[in-house]
Amino acid sequence: MIKEKVKTGVPGLDEMLEGGLIPGRTYVVSGTSGTGKTTLALQFLLEGSKQGERVLYVSLDEPPNEVRRNMMSYGWDLSRIQVFDATADVMSYDKTPVRDVSTERKVVYFGDVKDEIRKTSEKSPMDMTVNTLQELVKQEMKVRRYSRIVIDSLSSLRHFYIRTSEENASTISFIRVLSDIGVTSLVTVQLPEISKPDVEAHMARGEIRLHKWINGRGLMRGVTIEKYRGSSHDHRLRLMKISSEGIVIKSLAVRQTKTEEDGADTKQEAAANAPETIAEPPPSNAGAPGPVPDSSKPPEGGGP
């Protein structure tokens, strides 16, 4: 059996993963825009920092000051999470661009991130590439043995930091480096609305996919485990919610805390019908109230 799994810190997700992630491996968190990839990734790091682990957030999409601001509404204490600002500089289109790759950019604690966006240095905008980032992660890993790393997002890395001709090879190499250094890592991948699997999905040891769709009740959110090498896992779509405390996987969370708010939750459980029937055999179930899925029956065992 595999040694102790790494808890993601997302209520319900660890149960879907039969206890958590296998340590030292790289996993993909995928989803279309606005599905909660960054939130999930930070929750994963937060869980590590709560347990006194060293954790690193590599920010490629959003400047760290914005990420920190965004997460404030969850009331999380991100200050012990270390962050590397790998967001691109404004390009200088002057005739003699100064490309000083050695410009100091350091890993800092989220708590030390300034409120303002980092301004591009006039003299030396940095040419961040997949190579510099790969080296940085390796070096950082030697100095501070991180136990969790998040790359947010791999899509940005592919689009903006890798030359098109080398896209796949460089992406694979990057994921390989993460596995070689033996850190449990999550890389986020932004999916187009209609997608086909890409190299990262093949290379990663597992993929957690976030979904959103709309039905008569409004926006629904769900999560599936698309792949999980070396472990059994939940094969169903589970409803999730982005609440004021972060991401909560509902159907399972309900099962565990069913006594807490009975009335409200039964309604939400009923809502679980729709997505599962919609998600598996696509649309066309308009009107037909789907069969009652298992997830809405958990109280059965408990009895009256």
Partner 1 sequence: MKYDDAQRVSIGIPGLDKMLDGGLLPGRPYVVSGTTGSGKTILSVQFLQQGVKQGERALLVAIDEPPAEIRENVRAMGWDVGKIRILDVHPAAKAYSKRVSLVEVAAQRSVSALMEAGPDAKAEAMKKASPDISIQSLQLMLKQELQEVKYSRVVIDSLTSLKKLSEMMEDTDTSILSLLRFLSEASLTSLVVTDLPDPTQLEPEIFICRGEIRLHKRMVGGRTDRCVTIEKFRGSAHDTLPRPMRLTETGMIIDAGKKIPKASLRELQAFTQYAR
Q: Binding residues for partner 1, per CB under 8 A?
A: 32-34, 38, 61-63, 66, 69-73, 87-91, 93, 95, 117, 119-120, 153, 155-156, 159-160, 190-195, 211-216, 218-219, 278-279, 282-283, 286
Task: Fill in the DSSP letter of residue 22.
Answer: P
Burial class for 65, CB neighbours closer than 10 Å (0-12, 13-18, 19+) = middle
Cβ at position 53, least distance to partner 1 in Å: 26
Cα–Cα dist 57/50, whole Å: 15
Tell me how far, at minimum, the Cβ of 252 lies from partner 1, in Å.
Answer: 20
Q: Give 156 or 170: the residue with its C-beta nearer to partner 1.
A: 156
**Is 304 within 8 Å of 286 (Cβ atoms)?**
no
* Minimum distance, C-beta of residue 259 to partner 1, in the bound complex (Å): 28
Rank residues 20 and 246 by Cβ distance to partner 1 and give the closer one.
Answer: 246
By beta-carbon proximity to partner 1, the closer residue of 71 and 247 is: 71
CB of 304 to partner 1, least distance (A): 36
Written as one letter, the residue type at 96 is: T
Q: How far is the CB of 141 from partner 1 (least distance, A)?
A: 27
- Token couple for 254: 């309900």
In whole angstroms, give the CA distance from residue 16 to residue 226.
11
Which amino acid appears at position 38 of this protein?
A: T
Please identify, using beta-carbon distances, which residue of 1 and 72 lies nearer to partner 1: 72
Closer to partner 1 by Cβ: residue 18 or 66: 66
Taken as a whole, the chain contains a residue count of 304
Nearest to 28 by CA among 213, 214, 222, 172: 172
